[in-house]
A = this chain, B = another copy of it.
Amino acid sequence: MENREEIVNLADLALLAGGQVDGDPGVFITGVCSLDHPRHGCIALAVDNAKIAWGPGQDEPSALIVSKRPAGIDLPLLVHPNPRLAFTIALRHLYPVPELPEGISPLATIHDDADVDASVRIAPFTMIEAGTKVGPGVQIWPGCYVGRNSEIGEGTKIYPNVVVMHDVTIGRNCILQPGVVIGSDGFGYTPTEKGNMKVPQIGRVIIGDEVEIGANTTIDRATLDATIIADDVKIDNLVQLAHNVKVGRHTRIAAQAGLSGRVQIEDNVVIAGQAGFQNGITVGEGSVIAGRAGVIGDVPANSRMSGMPARDHRKALRIIALQNRLPEILDRLEKIEKRIADKTIES
Using a CB–CB cutoff of 8 Å, the interface residues on chain A facing chain B are 1-3, 32-34, 36-37, 82, 84-85, 87-88, 91-92, 95, 97-98, 105, 107, 109, 123-125, 127, 141-143, 145, 147-149, 159-161, 163, 165-167, 175, 177-179, 181, 184-185, 187, 189-190, 192, 195-200, 202-204, 210, 212, 214-216, 218, 220, 224-225, 231-232, 234, 236-238, 240, 242, 249-250, 252, 254-256, 258, 260, 273-274, 276, 278, 291-292, 294, 296, 307-309, 311, 315, 318-320, 322-327, 329-330, 332-333, 336-337, 339-340
Contacts and interface: CB of A to CB of B under 8 A. Distances in A.
A214 B187 contact: yes
A200 B326 CA distance: 46
Contacts of A225: 34, 36-37
A266 to B, nearest CB: 15
Stoichiometry (number of copies): 3
Contact of A195 (B109, B177, B232): B232
Nearest to A97: B200
B255 A255 contact: no
15 contacts: A32-B202, A87-B190, A88-B199, A107-B109, A145-B160, A160-B165, A177-B185, A178-B184, A179-B216, A195-B231, A238-B258, A291-B294, A292-B308, A311-B324, A323-B326
